[in-house]
Amino acid sequence: MSVFGSLGLILYTYGMNIFFSGIGGVGLGPLAQLAHDAGHTVSGSDAAASLTTEALTDQGIPVHIGQNDGYFEQSHQKQPIDLLVYTAALPPTHPELTKAHELGVKAVKRDELLAQIIREKNLKLVAVSGTHGKTTTTGMLVWAFKQLGIPVSYSIGTTISFGPSGHYDPASEYFVYECDEFDRNFLHFSPELALVTSLGYDHSDTYPTKDDYRQAFSRFLKQSAHGIGWRHDLKLLPDVSADTLWQLQDDEVAPVKLAGEHYRMNATLVLKALEYLGFDYDTSLLESFPGTNRRFEKLADNLYSDYGHHPTEIAATLQMACELSDRVVLVYQPHQNIRQYEIKGLYRNCFKDAKKIYWLPTYLSRENPDLAVLTPPELTADISNKEDIRIADMDDELWTMLELHRASGDLVLVMGAGSVDGWVRSRLQKQLAD
């Protein structure tokens, strides 16, 4: 039986005391905010502070930094915890997860709690899926609802400037969700409308082959009442019905004044979603979209940060940057050694729009200890414009070079899902303090 059996439903009705292990994560952070808005008592922990943990603290949600010091048990002793919500990245031996089992606290992954909230609040789910572009498209859709004055509940995997990353509005009819495929998360939902932003291949730890990956998207669309995507993507999926899919041709990109071809394609999906849902709009609606955190986010003059770490994302973001400047300098931090083995061969031509590339060591996370760490020279050996690459470290020398580039009018773009964004932000803060 689900955790939300008879006892779970009683708890849900009167509000649960929910603890989020890994509350600063891109999936759990928004869900914690959403659960708080929906009337539950929420707290959590994470291994390190982040923009998300800071935002949650600002909302009055207790966040503890540290996960191996007994905080979970102490919290349970003060006020019994009804539910532990955890991310798939948590190992089975994680101290908070094992302690929850010892204490008899129910533990579930995020999708089960979110699906329950959506059902209980009788919300219509608009799910944004795809290999790349989910966060930006979800942000655009939430922005559009807000601009049109339509109440909306939502969850987006980053921080945004126009609201919290997760929110429940009692007046809302729709729930907009960045519905990712990692750990087969999206297969736990049956959306009213599903958007597919793009289709490539990712998360080989969950999907060993490209065929497995595509089969999952096919199943997701079969579970959806209606879907919208690009024909060049949807034609790759087996056994999906054209009757429930709105397949857009490449020449149907809306005339939206936004930098970046992939931004304009994402915006088109959002506008088509609004059309399907029956809302009146003007195409200029999205031209004031302020963006989302770490998606080509402007940090300072001539300095941008982006979360991209896959060759497809890198190429698309560089193309966007080149619409603003013909002198783009890239600082790139590869993400996860195990991932580098999978994508090394795709790096060859994706950096062609950068005039200079500073290549950092790979950010290590959830690694296979038996796998040798690929070095920067190994990763860059076959890149077509390797003469433009300089191996670098996050140090004073690199920062000095970036400041010189900015001063000379170059657009500096920092890319990576690891620590490089935080390093740049801390340098900027120190600069302002001095």
Query: Could you tell me the strand order of the sheet in which 356-359 lies?
Result: 297-300, 303-306, 411-415, 328-332, 356-359, 389-391
Q: If you compute the radius of gyration of the chain from its CA atoms, what whole number of angstroms results?
A: 22
Where, residue-wise, is CATH 3.40.50.720 in the chain?
A: 6-108
Q: What is the pLDDT of residues 77-100, one digit of tens each?
A: 999 999 999 988 788 899 999 999
**What number is the average pLDDT over the span 363-376?**
91
In this prediction, residue 11 carries a pLDDT of 43
The CATH architecture to which 297-433 belongs is: Alpha-Beta Complex (3.90)
In this prediction, residue 5 carries a pLDDT of 47
In this prediction, residue 3 carries a pLDDT of 42
Where, residue-wise, is CATH 3.90.190.20 in the chain?
A: 297-433
Question: Which CATH code for domain 6-108?
Answer: 3.40.50.720
> Strand pairing of 152-155 and 245-248?
unpaired
- Percentage of the residues of the chain whose pLDDT score is greater than 90: 82
Place of tokens 């292990």: 21
CA separation, residue 155 to residues 26, 28, 33, 190, 225 (Å): 10, 10, 9, 16, 20
Q: Which of 262, 358, 361, 378 is nearest to 312 (CA)?
A: 262
Q: What is the pLDDT of residues 392-424, one digit of tens each?
A: 999 999 999 999 999 999 999 999 999 999 999
Q: What is the pLDDT of residues 280-294, one digit of tens each?
A: 999 899 999 998 888
Angle CA 286–168–25, to nearest 5: 80
pTM of this structure: 0.83
Question: Which CATH code for domain 121-286?
Answer: 3.40.1190.10
Tokens standing for residue 262: 């992939």
